[in-house]
């Protein structure tokens, strides 16, 4: 297809850009991390949503090259931020399957100079489903480098709890579907509360994604959830627009 061919050339033509969305500690009002979210400025179609082109990139395998570009770019960008601000990068399941994943990540960190502890990889549990044999070795290798791991879209998949038990995960991100219903559905409230208790008992950081209202923020706080990502604080933005916030929210 045409869009597939265009995507093939998008990196070379410098059409990809990263927008960053803050993850804020709501108690202190400081940005603790920025999540890198890919954007594609297509010459004719305009801004193409990642919801459209990431699946194409995954189907065609282009996600490996694109993902590596995002990773390098994000590490370079993060070098300019205050040292307490981490950068979170999404890792597609196909990237996770690369046999030399740990070596590649190590190389990018060395080349960019970013301290490994400032990099956080966001993986969804679908990365864990296939090729289960070497998953633990990879995750242990990443942890040994000092890279932090976040389980993304938590609560939407199959068996997340066993993954928390088996793998060295540092952080869990509650899917935005839960935040959206946080002030409407008692069942959703119970689930969020249970995830919070679990994360607390396991010593995991917990982020609520997709928080858009003060009521949702207050609900999260009532469940001891203080790491917040969502439009209430900021949409994903080009880094030039966030630089002033980084200064103020230091
Ligand atoms: O920014 P937005 O909410 O529209 O992103 C839509 C989806 O695209 C999200 O699920 C997000 O995780 C995914 N996505 C955005 N950037 C990247 C990226 O660099 N790599 C991967 N694998 N997924 C990304
Ligand atoms: O799947 P992942 O969590 O990696 O992607 C995050 C996605 O959620 C991005 O596409 C981002 O634009 C989107 N997002 C972040 N905060 C909000 C929010 O408050 N509301 C909505 N509707 N989307 C959000
Ligand atoms: Mn994510
Ligand atoms: Na998510």
For 44-59, how does the pLDDT look when each residue is reduced to its tens digit (9 = 90+)?
A: 999 999 999 999 999 9
If we measure between CA atoms, which residue out of 44, 53, 43 comes closest to residue 14? 43
Cα of 105 vs centre of ligand 1, distance in Å, is: 19
The atom number, within ligand 1, closest to the CA of 236 reads 1
If we measure between CA atoms, which residue out of 73, 169, 155 comes closest to residue 112? 73
H/E stretch holding 98 reads none
| ipTM summary value | 0.96
φ, ψ of residue 58 to 5 degrees: the values are -70, -45
Nearest CA to ligand 2 atom 18: 210
Question: b/e for 205-214, b at 16 or more Cβ within 10 A?
Answer: bbbbbbbeee
Q: pLDDT band for 13, please (50, 70, 90 cuts).
A: very high
Q: pLDDT band for 248, please (50, 70, 90 cuts).
A: low
Cα of 134 vs centre of ligand 2, distance in Å, is: 30
pLDDT in tens, 139-194: 999 999 999 999 999 988 776 688 888 889 999 999 999 999 999 999 999 999 99
Q: Is the CB of 183 under 6 A from ligand 1?
A: no
Q: Is the CB of 210 under 6 A from ligand 2?
A: yes
Q: Is the CB of 51 under 6 A from ligand 1?
A: yes
pLDDT in tens, 105-143: 999 999 999 999 999 999 998 887 765 668 888 999 999
Q: Which domains does the chain have, with CATH numbers?
A: 2-248 (3.20.20.450)
Specify the pLDDT at position 132. Answer: 61
Q: Is the pLDDT of residue 91 over 90?
A: yes
């Amino acid at each position: 297809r045409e869009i597939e061919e265009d995507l093939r050339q998008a990196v070379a033509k410098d059409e990809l850009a990263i927008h960053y969305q803050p993850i804020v500690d709501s108690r202190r009002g400081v940005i603790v991390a920025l999540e890198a979210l890919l954007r594609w400025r297509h010459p004719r179609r305009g801004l193409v949503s990642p919801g459209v082109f990431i699946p194409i990139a995954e189907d065609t395998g282009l996600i490996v090259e694109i993902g590596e570009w995002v990773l390098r770019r994000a590490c370079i960008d993060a070098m300019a931020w205050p040292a307490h601000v981490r950068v979170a990068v999404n890792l597609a399941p196909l990237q996770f399957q690369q046999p030399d994943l740990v070596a590649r990540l190590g190389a990018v960190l060395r080349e960019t100079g970013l301290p490994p502890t400032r990099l956080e990889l966001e993986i969804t549990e679908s990365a864990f489903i296939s090729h289960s044999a070497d998953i633990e070795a990879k995750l242990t290798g990443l942890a040994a480098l000092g890279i932090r791991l976040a389980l993304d879209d938590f609560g939407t998949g199959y068996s997340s709890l066993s993954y928390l038990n088996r793998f060295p995960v540092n952080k869990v991100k509650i899917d935005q579907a839960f935040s959206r219903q946080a002030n409407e559905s008692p069942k959703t409230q119970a689930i969020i509360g249970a995830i919070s208790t679990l994360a607390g008992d396991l010593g995991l950081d917990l982020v609520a994604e997709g928080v858009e209202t003060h009521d949702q923020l207050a609900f999260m706080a009532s469940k001891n959830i203080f790491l917040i990502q969502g439009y209430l604080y900021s949409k994903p933005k080009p880094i030039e627009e966030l630089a002033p916030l980084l200064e103020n929210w230091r």
